[in-house]
Amino acid sequence: MSEQIPLHDLGFDQRVERDLNNPALRTNFREAMDFLMDKRSSSFTDDVKLQELRTLGASIRKRALSKLPDLLEQLEAKLKENGIRVHWAESSEEANQTVLDIAQHHGAKTMIKGKSMVSEETELNEFLEKKGIHPVEADMGEYILQLAEEKPSHIVMPAIHKSKEAIAELFEQNLDDCEYTENVDALIQAARKELRKQFHSADIGLTGVNFMVAETGSLVLVENEGNGRLATTVPKVHIAMTGIEKVIEHLDDLPPLLTLLTNSATGQPITTYVNMISSPRKGDEGGPEEVHLVLLDNGRTIPFADEEMRQTLQCIRCAACMNHCPVYTRLGGHAYGTTYPGPIGSILSPHLLGLEATKDLPSASSLCGACSEVCPVKIPIPDLLRRLRHEGVRKLKKDEDPVIRGHGAKYTHTEKAAWGSWSKLYSSPALYRTFALSATLLRGLTPSKMKGWTDYRTSPKPASKSLHSLVKNYRKEQEQSRNKEAGGSQ
């Protein structure tokens, strides 16, 4: 029953078709998204306060991005002063290699991981396995997916597509002394017991980071389970891995963003743990002897260079946009085929992977605007989707600098020609009249199959009379009856 969901073997259309035709998956997502939307709306009860807070959240993120290189340097200096080592990586490969180098330096064989979407982005686990280091995911959702050999389908609740029956079977097959049970408490306790052993013996702990504070040189981790706390407390070495955009200027900037993050994500006023790390252990207070931070670019500097697209980097990864997206709710996360699915994924992935590989994502949206309405930092997602659609069909002019990799990836001569004719037709009254007349006269010849359109819809047939001629006739009749009335009353 453990359904294998490979990511790269199918095209986007095929993945969409596969997942739309999976009723169990659709039920799981519908119920889960309804649940998360309810949680959010019941925690933000005062809309005036919420809008004020979102405005502040957007200000804080925009301000940080407006001085990002300076803040990164300030952060680095502060972290170094505190004893934390900072590494920079331009690509996934470089980031993975950095982690490997640190691990090998310590002769490490095992690694315990707190939740990190950036390590999913760089496919760190696959890389380390090949090099003889066994990473174990400790976030319950990620642990389930590691056992099932699947990828996350949601950035906050990674295993949301799995039913408890499927998880029960998975645990029965993979965990020592775990009998089949659908009792969730028992399942969690079984995983806790197994992972405790791993935490106890792991050489290295690796986690993501939610916020980095430049002013104090602090790494802030937000979670409910304690996997992040254990991974940053028990092993001798802690490696934190994150994107360069996650830095904020002041410690004062943290409280409003925390409130926005946890309430938007799961409707919690705060998560169980907020863990702020500012240095390796001093004396006997516990914690790792070494703390490393790996700062990853991997394409983030591309949207940064464009003022409109820079807003993509304001994201604090709460997942509210996917929870509220009618397309994501129906498709689930795997159909997108990228680490970050849903609306934020559709505006971020084209920068990380190039438009060639992601050309369908900006179109996988109805542009209903629910995402930007709930975004805690006010990213105008529909505007950015339209911008990416535009860049996808636009060829660069001579000497024009690219704003994204894969300009014009969706460009076709047919589409270009079709829109060219459409625009000519609609800007010339004479041409338009001729077209309307011939369309109505020749309506019998409308093809019953039109590529793309008629796959899911009936073929459109022009009416026997155009709206223009109907209006013309109507006016004529009105005039005639007015004339008649005028004549009759004399």
**384 touching other proteins, by CB under 8 A:** no
With CB under 8 A as the contact rule, the residue among 30, 130, 134, 196 that binds other proteins is: 196
- Per CB under 8 A, contacts with other proteins among 2-31 are 31
Q: Which stretch binds other proteins (CB under 8 A): 46-54, 117-125, 353-361, 384-392?
A: 46-54
204 near other proteins, judged by CB under 8 A = no
Rounded to whole angstroms, the Cα distance separating 146 from 263 reads 28
Asked if 321 interacts with other proteins (CB under 8 A), we say: no
Q: How many CB atoms lie within 10 A of CB 18?
A: 15
Residue 325: closest CA among 312, 302, 342: 342
The residue within the footprint of other proteins, chosen from 269, 429, 452, 460 (CB under 8 A), is 269
Nearer CB in complex with other proteins: 16/277: 277
Which residue is listed with tokens 């925690």? Answer: 43
Q: Which is nearer to other proteins, 97 or 469 (CB)?
A: 97
Among 297, 358, 391, 407, binds other proteins (CB under 8 A): 297
What are the angstrom distances between the C-alpha of 70 and each of 64, 83, 257, 278, 342?
Answer: 9, 20, 21, 19, 31
Question: Is the torsion defined by CA of 368, 371, 373, 374 positive or negative?
Answer: positive
Closest approach of other proteins to the CB of residue 66, in Å: 4
Among 100, 118, 138, 352, binds other proteins (CB under 8 A): 138
Contact region with other proteins (CB under 8 A), list: 222-230, 349-357, 406-414, 441-449: 222-230
Selected from 159, 265, 315, 321, the binder of other proteins by CB under 8 A is: 159
Report if residue 375 touches other proteins, rule: CB under 8 A: no
End-to-end Cα separation, the chain, in angstroms: 88
Please give the backbone phi and psi of residue 412, each rounded to the nearest 5 degrees, phi first: -130, 145
Q: Among residues 2, 174, 181, 216, which is the contact residue for other proteins, using CB under 8 A?
A: 216
Indicate which single residue of 25, 32, 348, 371 sits in contact with other proteins (rule: CB under 8 A).
32
**Using rule CB under 8 A, residue 130 touches other proteins:** no
Binding piece for other proteins, criterion CB under 8 A, among 4-12, 67-75, 126-134, 447-455: 67-75
C-alpha 262 chain-centroid distance: 16
CA–CA gap between residue 235 and residue 113 (Å, rounded): 11
Q: How many residues does the chain have?
A: 490
Stretch that binds other proteins, among 159-167, 360-368, 451-459, 472-480 (CB under 8 A): 159-167
Half-sphere exposure of 226 (CA within 13 A, CB side): 7
Q: Least Å distance between CB 227 and other proteins?
A: 5
Decide: is 215 part of the binding site for other proteins (CB under 8 A). yes
Q: If binding is defined by CB under 8 A, does position 80 make contact with other proteins?
A: no
Sheet containing 237-243: order of strands:
85-89, 290-296, 237-243, 204-207, 110-113, 134-137
Strands (E), 204-272: 204-207, 211-213, 218-223, 237-243, 247-248
Q: How far is the CB of 284 from other proteins (least distance, A)?
A: 4
- Residue in 234, 241, 352, 388 binding other proteins, rule: CB under 8 A: 234
- Contacting range for other proteins; rule: CB under 8 A; set: 9-17, 243-251, 314-322, 454-462: 243-251
Among 277, 321, 344, 404, binds other proteins (CB under 8 A): 277
Choosing from 108, 133, 209, 254, the residue that interacts with other proteins (CB under 8 A) is 254
Region of 227-235, 359-367, 423-431, 467-475 interacting with other proteins (CB under 8 A): 227-235
Which region among 191-199, 202-210, 314-322, 381-389 touches other proteins (by CB under 8 A)? 191-199
Q: Is 192 exposed, middle or buried (0-12, 13-18, 19+ CB in 10 A)?
A: middle
Residue 481 has φ and ψ, to the nearest 5°, of -70, -30
Task: Return the residue of 11, 77, 131, 184 that touches other proteins, per CB under 8 A.
Answer: 184
Which residues in 327-366 contact other proteins (CB under 8 A)? none
- Give the 3-state secondary structure of residue 84: coil
Cβ atoms of 30 and 353 within 8 Å: the answer is: no
Of these, 14, 42, 104, 189, which contacts other proteins (CB under 8 A)?
A: 189
Q: Residue 54 is which amino acid? A: R
> Contacting other proteins (CB under 8 A), which of 24, 77, 188, 470?
188
Is 144 a binding residue for other proteins by CB under 8 A? The answer is: yes
Q: Quick one: which of 10, 41, 74, 94 contacts other proteins (CB under 8 A)?
A: 94
Per-residue burial over 202-221, b if 16 or more Cβ lie within 10 Å, else e, is bbbbbbbbbbbbbbebbbbb
443 binds other proteins (CB under 8 A): no
Using DSSP, state whether 235 is helix, strand or coil.
coil
Burial (CB count within 10 angstroms: exposed 0-12, middle 13-18, buried 19+), residue 103:
buried
Backbone angles phi, psi at 291, to 5 degrees: -125, 130
Among 211, 304, 336, 340, binds other proteins (CB under 8 A): 304
Give me 313's structure tokens: 């980097």
